[in-house]
Amino acid sequence: MAHTAKKFEEKGKTWTQFPKQCKSCYLCIATCPQKCLSQDEKVLGYYGQPSVKCDIKNCVQCKKCETICPDLAIRVKD
């Protein structure tokens, strides 16, 4: 199964999500201290539920979302 990545980039910051791996548990949204993650109604995850999108301007790259994701569907790179 191919995993098409969604990338959000700005000024050397990159937040990547793999919707086909996302099971829409939203632990990442609940954990984000900046509240820059939200449901993405346009891109569905593994079970057909909204995946996650990032407001990259507010992301501080703390990697809490990457760490808590049980499906390894998020990558944060600086």
Question: What are the boundaries of each domain within the chain?
Answer: 6-77
Q: Which two tokens stand for residue 37?
A: 């993650």
* pTM score of the predicted model: 0.90
Q: Which long-range contacts (CB under 8 A, 24 or more apart) does 11-14 make?
A: 12/78, 13/56, 13/59, 13/61, 13/77, 13/78, 14/75, 14/76, 14/77, 14/78
The tens-digit pLDDT sequence of the chain (78 residues) is: 445 899 999 999 999 999 999 999 999 999 999 999 999 999 999 999 999 999 999 999 999 999 999 999 999 997
Alpha-carbon distances, residue 78 vs 8, 36, 41, 49 (angstroms): 12, 16, 26, 28
Q: Is 6-77 a CATH 3.30.70.20 domain?
A: yes
Q: State how far the Cα of 42 lies from the Cα of 21, in Å rounded to an integer.
A: 16
